[in-house]
Structure 1
Amino acid sequence: MPAQRYSYTAIALHWLIALLLAFQIALGWALEGNNSPELFARYQLHKSIGITILLLSLARLAVRFILPRPPASDGPAWTRTLAGIVHGLFYLVMILGPLTGWLLVSTARVQVPTLLYGIVPWPHLPVGRSWHEPAESIHGAMAWIAIGLFLLHIAGALRHQWLLGKPELQRMIPFARGKAVGAAIGALALVAGAFAVGQTIYPERSRTVVEKTMPVPTAEPVAPPAAPAASVAMDAEAPVEDVAKAAPEDTGEPLADWTVAPSGHLGFTARWNGEAVNGSFDRWRAAIRFSRDHLAESNIRVTVDLASADTGDGQRDDSLKGSDFFNVTARPNAVFTARDVRHLGGDRYEARGTLDLRGASKPATVRFTLRIDGDKARVAGTARIDRTAFGVGQGEWAATDAIAAAVDVDFSFSATRPAS
């Protein structure tokens, strides 16, 4: 006897793909607006759903040839031909849509790594940039074709069910062996719900930024320099006379090399369409020779492993390592060196020096508080740099309308010196 219902495997794949397609079409329409954390998150989810649809569609195609399925419905030749065309086009859309999206990602000028659902790395296709425009045109058309196919498919199923009196829906809708009215309404509601969720999962002003717990900079920032070529020392200079008045009393403190504890924090905050994106560097080291009584002989050198940048989003972190931002392959480290350390009064100090980042070397100033208790010290401070002065952000990311030029840096750590 021929099968009267599709297999449970075929039914499960059919409805899972249908819901994902409805969700994906709606999400695709939301891929507009200014570059922002929300838009970035939408793109990452869109890519993940697309690859999922591709894999499930290939599985569904295999099941179609392996497992038995019900015979085609009776009817005029033109209806059977149309049904075959609709099914064939559905497979084309379900496979070609994700493939062209994959081509778009692989040939984009700004290469953003793909990490499915933030977990599974997915490679780029080894194709040239010339594939980009054709893939973009085909990919955009796939959504409209899918919508048309949805309507034709639903209309055909309802026609067979109620106009021709043939139990089409019972063959594919789970638990619809009897009357299919309730099941049909439920199925349509699920598809409509998936479409609605796709439009609202990342609303335009939702705050989807991953903000890691970190100290908030306490120093009042000073406006960045007007031109990138200018000094990127972001703190205003203290008047010379004020620095002289603030000179600390002689404490008899010798010049010493301080050892920084590994629990220190080095963080940064960028502004993306006005929203804070916080991150930190997991690997950095500092060589500090310092004495409050010998500031002229004190010096600081901090080396930061740029590949250790962590913003809480693996795909964004991989983008930061790329040639458009830190370019860690060519310049793996950023280095801050300072030989001009000044006392500003009380426990406040500043270190004036140079920041080497991405092959550019610019003046930079760091302000910090220092509390020394015996041979132990606690340091916390802030700075602000202009990323454009170092070429951090190439191409479309060089503009400051989406990602602000100013990036705030904050740090805190404990240190010890040899016992005196």
Structure 2
Amino acid sequence: MPAQRYSYTAITLHWLIALLLAFQIALGWALEGNNSPELFARYQLHKSVGIAILLLSLARLATRLFTARPPASDGPAWTRALAATVHALFYLVMILGPITGWLLVSTAKVQVPTLLFGIIPWPHLPVGRIWHEPAEAIHGAMAWLAIGLFLLHIAGALRHQWLLGKPELQRMIPFARGKAVGVAIGAVALVAGAMVAGQIVHADKPHAAAEIATAPLVAAPTAAPAGETVQEKPEEADKIETEAEKAAQPLADWTVASGGRLGFTARWNGEAIDGRFSRWRAAIRFSPDDLPKSTIRVTVDLASADTGDGQRDDSLKSSDFFDTGAHPSAVFAANDVRHLGGERYEARGTLDLRGVKKPATLRFTLRIDGDRARVAGTARIDRTAFGVGQGEWAATDAIAAGVNIDFSFNATRPAS
């Protein structure tokens, strides 16, 4: 006896792919607008869903080839030929669409790695940029073809079910062995819901101009205790000056303790993107009583940038941003340290970033207790002055030019 219904595996794969395709098409329409964190997130999700469709479609094709299925419906030769063509084209869309998207990612100018749903690494295809334009044209055509096939497929199913009176839907819709009207309506509602979800997922957040203008430039240094400000109280300043008068502090080499923070904040379409560098080292020779001979040198491993998004972090390493292949480190060096009063100091020097050297100034608060010190401070740089952001990223309408730096750490010196 031939099978009267598709296997549960085929049914599950059919509807899972249908929902993902509907979601993916709607998501593709939403990949427009200015560069923003939301648009970046939509692109990453689009890539993940595309690879998921590719893998599920290959599994569905294997199921079709190697498991029993109901016989094809009777009817005129042209209807059977049209049904076979629609099914064949669906497999073409479900497989070629993701593959051309994979080619687009692999040949893009900015090589953003793919992490499936932010977890599983997915490699680039080893092909040249010559494939980029053909892949882009085919990828767009596959989307429009998928929409047409959706309409033909649904029309054919409804024709068989209600116009010809053939129970076609019961063979593929779960739990529809009897009447399929209610379940069919539910299936259509699910597909429509998937398309709505594709339009609204990671929707752009509104950013009022006033909110952007008044947004804080730098987060408070994390080393400061809760409720404490970086400005010293008058009585504390008097106390520090009195202690300084009692005993001059010799010039010493300070060792930075583990657990310090070197962070940065950029603004992308008005939204603050916070990050940090997990690997950096500092050579500090300092005495508050011998500032002319005090020096600071900080070396930062640019590849250690961490913004909480692995794909964005890898983008920062590319030639459009830090270009870590050619310039793995950034170096701040200062031998002009000035006392601003109380616990406040300023270090003037140069920042060497991406092979460009520019003057840079950082301000910090310093508290010395015996042979231990606590430091917290801030700085601000113009990324465009160092060429961080090439091509489409050079403009400052999406990513602001100003980047705020914050740091905090503890340090020790040899016992005197």
Whether TM-score is above 0.5 comes out as: yes
Cα distance between partner residues in 1 of 2:195 and 2:352: 49
Cα distance between partner residues in 2 of 1:41 and 1:166: 44
Cα distance between partner residues in 2 of 1:359 and 1:33: 32
Structure 1 residue aligned with 2:384: 388
Letter in 2 for 1:393: G
Matched, 1:269 2:237: no
Which secondary structure state, in structure 2, belongs to the residue aligned with residue 342 of structure 1? strand
Structure 2 residue aligned with 1:210: none
Q: TM-score, normalised by structure 2?
A: 0.90
Matched, 1:132 2:126: no
CA contact (8 A) 1:23 1:194 kept: yes
Deviates more, 1:123-132 or 1:377-386: 123-132
Matched, 1:99 2:99: yes
Q: Where do residues 318-397 of structure 1 align in structure 2 (5 Å cutoff)? A: 318-397=314-393
Cα distance between partner residues in 1 of 2:46 and 2:82: 31
Cα distance between partner residues in 1 of 2:33 and 2:205: 11
Which secondary structure state, in structure 2, belongs to the residue aligned with residue 85 of structure 1? helix
User: How far apart are 1:23 and its partner, in Å?
Assistant: 0.2
Number of aligned residue pairs: give it: 386
Letter in 1 for 2:255: T
Matched, 1:68 2:71: no
Cα distance between partner residues in 2 of 1:127 and 1:260: 46
Letter in 2 for 1:123: P
Matched, 1:199 2:229: no
CA contact (8 A) 1:38 1:206 kept: no
User: How far apart are 1:217 and its partner, in Å?
Assistant: 4.2
Matched, 1:7 2:7: yes
Which secondary structure state, in structure 2, belongs to the residue aligned with residue 292 of structure 1? coil
Over residues 44-96 of structure 1, what are the superposed CA-to-partner deviations in whole Å (9 max), with x where a residue is unaligned? 00000001101111111111100010000111111111101111111111111
Cα distance between partner residues in 1 of 2:338 and 2:142: 63
Cα distance between partner residues in 1 of 2:22 and 2:386: 44
Question: Quick one: percent identity of the two aligned structures?
Answer: 81
Structure 2 unaligned spans of 5+: 208-217, 222-240
Which secondary structure state, in structure 2, belongs to the residue aligned with residue 385 of structure 1? strand
Matched, 1:24 2:27: no
Cα distance between partner residues in 2 of 1:408 and 1:386: 9
Structure 2 residue aligned with 1:216: 219
Over residues 2-59 of structure 1, what are the superposed CA-to-partner deviations in whole Å (9 max), with x where a residue is unaligned? 0010111111110000000000000000000000100000000000000110111111
Deviates more, 1:128-137 or 1:89-98: 128-137
Structure 2 residue aligned with 1:211: none
Over residues 278-300 of structure 1, what are the superposed CA-to-partner deviations in whole Å (9 max), with x where a residue is unaligned? 00001111111111100011111
1:403 aligns with one of 393, 399, 402: 399
Cα distance between partner residues in 2 of 1:108 and 1:253: 56
Over residues 207-239 of structure 1, what are the superposed CA-to-partner deviations in whole Å (9 max), with x where a residue is unaligned? 9xxxxxxx8147xxxxxxxxxxxxxxxxxxxxx
Matched, 1:317 2:313: yes
CA contact (8 A) 1:105 1:111 kept: yes
CA contact (8 A) 2:110 2:318 kept: no
Cα distance between partner residues in 2 of 1:206 and 1:13: 38
CA contact (8 A) 1:30 1:199 kept: yes
Structure 1 residue aligned with 2:232: none
Q: TM-score, normalised by structure 1?
A: 0.89
User: How far apart are 1:249 and its partner, in Å?
Assistant: 5.4
CA RMSD across the alignment: 1.6
Which secondary structure state, in structure 2, belongs to the residue aligned with residue 322 of structure 1? coil
Over residues 187-219 of structure 1, what are the superposed CA-to-partner deviations in whole Å (9 max), with x where a residue is unaligned? 111101100100011112279xxxxxxx8147x
Structure 2 residue aligned with 1:243: none
CA contact (8 A) 2:10 2:60 kept: yes
Structure 2 residue aligned with 1:237: none
Letter in 2 for 1:143: A
User: How far apart are 1:392 and its partner, in Å?
Assistant: 1.1
